[in-house]
Amino acid sequence: MSVTSVVGTRRTAKADAIVVFVVQDEKHFNAAQKSLTSDIPHLLPLFASGDFTAKANQTALAYGGSATVSPRVILVGMGQTSSITPERIRRAAAAAAKRAGAAGCSTIALETMPMNGIDSATVAQAITEGALLSQYRFDKYKTIKNESSNGLVKKITLVTDRPHLKAVTKGAAMGEHIVGGVTLARDLANAPNCEIYPETLAKKVQEVGKKAGFKTTVLDKKKIEDLKMGGLLGVNAGSVRPPVFIVMEHMKGPKNEKPLVLVGKGITFDTGGISIKPAAGMSDMKSDMHGAASVIGTMYTIAKMGLKRNVIALVPSTENMPSGTAYVPGDILTFMNGKTAEIDNTDAEGRLILADALCYADRFKPSAVIDLATLTGACVIALGTVTTGMMGTDEKTKNRLRAAADRTSEYVCELPLYEEYEEQISSDYADIKNSGGRNAGAITAALFLKHFVSYPWVHLDIAGTGIQPKAGHYTPKGGSGVGVRLLADMIRHW
Ligand code: MN
Ligand code: ZN
């Protein structure tokens, strides 16, 4: 997938289709109709039919004839001008790209100009994200490619005028780095466990780090034992494959700037362990490392953007398997910081590996730590697959995430961490218990993690938003890549 920006017009742009964004309000719609039919007379019958009203995400395809270099013209509706946001632009660009793909186009050119007071760099970034992210498919294991299920648009060109070219080029580059990170996260999350297990995940991160320009260190089982990461080792006990602990570093900020530390849950497959899950839907658990995928994708994006910040990402990774050597309910694990937890349910494993990672984060004296995890089914019940659950101790970071959520439409909503919930995870035999039962399960999971933090901290539960039951405007079914756009935006605006 590639993006270029050029100076041109709807008549001169060269692609399989030229895409024109059209707003719905009467005055603007009439003006657009006038200018479009004067530029491209072949559009007259389309407008005369009244079929195209420019309501949001509506598309129409026509043929430009001799008036345009591109053989096809795709009109895409933006709805009312006053409701145009970057998200509206992403969705419209996605609708246009899907229409083009369905018509067999592999290249499209999109008119890129400021809209509703949104500057041209932001518009260019939103178009790039929407158009390219909508074309994502995880089909590398299909030996026979099904055309109708394949996004065919491989290359987009942003067409603008000379005064806007510089900003459009910059916005397109930002969009491209984001698409790269989101695509990486989706690929990792969608890869089956036979492809991505802890050691191959680590290898993949090393490759990506080399390509994008961040430093990677992989701690193997021996080092994990030396560090006394009892949570990670406990969860790994049932698995033939060893665990890994991955450290990524992007230290491009001022020397004295304390780093932001990201932590991603890296359970490459979650069977539930001895507290085994039901068979139906278990294959989704190949994506139980989406938190890891999100932070890896974010590191790729911020490194490619060359952001001048200090950011470190940590990924504790293992499978959660049942076997004769697996940890069992009633076991007591001792974490890196010496705290102990009684195992009530081996399917509440994510918090156990995160606990060690949160202890490890301490050594970096972080300005803040944000962890991402497909942590609880309870969060899916509370917020569905639309909104990420946000919990934590640091108001400033929560506000930064809220602002980034507004800009990216990767929504977050806070759940409370009142101490009254604590008694649900109290244990008769250890410091805490790893499961607080069904009530408020997302909250008690976060309260478990809170026992291991000693710095400003926010936890994002992406169990719902990370694994989508069906395709959205520009998100696929399955691993969505959630978190990359959110975090990269937050770090960019820090
Ligand atoms: Mn689990
Ligand atoms: Zn899990």
Asked if residue 377 and residue 286 are part of one domain, the reply reads yes
Nearest ligand (C-alpha, residue 275): 1
Average pLDDT over residues 26-54: 97
Q: Are residues 359 and 214 in the same domain?
A: yes
Statement: residue 150 has pLDDT above 80: no
Structural domain contains residue 174: no
Give residue-wise pLDDT tens across range 246-287.
999 999 999 999 999 999 999 999 999 999 999 999 999 999
Task: Give me the mean pLDDT over the 306-326 stretch.
Answer: 98
Number of compact structural domains in the chain:
2
325 shares its domain with 223: yes
What's the confidence (pLDDT) of residue 148? Answer: 53
Residue 51 lies in a domain: yes
Residues 155 and 253 in one domain: no
The Cα–Cα gap between 142 and 124 comes to 33
- Does any domain span residue 171? no
Question: What domain range is 148 assigned to?
Answer: 2-161
Whether 87 and 186 map to the same domain: the answer is no
Type of residue found at 255: K
Q: Are 441 and 377 in contact (CB under 8 A)?
A: yes
- Kindly report, residue by residue over 162-188, the tens digit of the pLDDT: 999 999 999 999 999 999 999 999 999
Q: What percentage of the chain exceeds 70 in pLDDT?
A: 99
CATH code, domain carrying 415? 3.40.630.10
271 C-alpha to center of ligand 1: Å?
Answer: 7
Q: What is the pLDDT of residues 1-37, one digit of tens each?
A: 789 999 999 999 999 999 999 999 999 999 999 999 9
Distance 350 CA to ligand 2 centre (A): 5
Shared domain for 299 and 404, answered yes or no, is yes
Question: What global pTM score does this model have?
Answer: 0.98
Same domain, 62 and 189: no
pLDDT of residue 144: 84
User: pLDDT per residue over 110-136, tens digit each?
Assistant: 999 999 999 999 999 999 999 999 999
CATH of the domain at 125: 3.40.220.10
Three-state secondary structure of 32-100: HHHHHHHHCHHHHHHHHHCCCCCCCCCEEEEECHHHCCCCEEEEEECCCHHHCCHHHHHHHHHHHHHHH
**CA dist., res. 268 & res. 101, Å (int):** 33
Distance 226 CA to ligand 2 centre (A): 25
Among residues 161, 190, 222, which one ends one of the domains? 161
> What beta strand segments (E) does 126-243 contain?
155-160, 215-219
Instruction: Write the DSSP assignment of 191-202 as a string of letters.
Output: S-TTT--HHHHH
Average pLDDT for 346-354: 98
Q: State in Å: Cα 400 to ligand 2 middle.
A: 27
Task: Name the residue type at position 298.
Answer: T
**Helices 290-305 and 165-190: crossing angle, nearest 10°?**
150
The reply to whether 73 and 199 lie within a common domain is no
Residues 43 and 87 both lie in one domain = yes
Q: 152 falls in which pLDDT band (50, 70, 90)?
A: confident
Residues 6+ apart with CB under 8 A from 104: 16, 152
In a domain, 170, yes or no: no
- The candidate with the shortest Cα–Cα distance to 413, out of 456, 443, 452, 377, is 443
**Ligand 2 centre and the CA of 272: distance in Å?**
7
Task: Answer whether residue 402 shows pLDDT above 80.
Answer: yes
Residue at which a domain ends, from 98, 131, 161 = 161
pLDDT at 457 > cutoff 70: yes
Please check whether residues 373 and 422 belong to one and the same domain: yes
Report residue 275 as tokens.
């507290």
In a domain, residue 172? The reply is: no
pLDDT of residue 145: 73
Q: Given this model, what pLDDT does residue 337 score?
A: 98
Q: Are residues 283 and 238 in the same domain?
A: yes
Q: Which ligand is nearest to the CA of 347?
A: 1
pLDDT number for residue 1? 78
Q: Tell whether 57 is covered by a domain.
A: yes
The ligand that comes nearest to the alpha carbon of residue 269 is 2
68 band by pLDDT with thresholds 50, 70 and 90? very high
- Mean local confidence (pLDDT), 323-343: 98
| Same domain (yes/no): 395, 281 | yes
Residue 451 lies in a domain: yes
- Write the CB contacts of 110 (distance below 8 Å, at least 6 apart in sequence): 18, 19, 21, 93, 96, 127, 131, 156, 157, 158, 159
Q: What's the whole-number average pLDDT of the chain?
A: 97
- Does 169 fall in a domain? no
pLDDT surpasses 80 at 147 = no
Ligand nearest to the CA of 267: 2
Active site amino acids: 277, 351
- What sign does the dihedral 429-434-439-440 (CA atoms) show? positive
**Residue 128 Cα to ligand 2 middle (Å):** 33
Residue 21's pLDDT is: 98
What is the number of other CB atoms lying within 10 angstroms of the CB of residue 80?
15
CA 272 to ligand 1 centroid distance, Å:
5
| Position 146 pLDDT exceeds 70 | no
- Domain edge (last residue) among 131, 161, 191: 161
The answer to whether 133 and 474 have CB atoms below 8 angstroms apart is yes
387 CB-near residues (< 8 Å, 6+ apart): 411, 412, 413, 464, 465
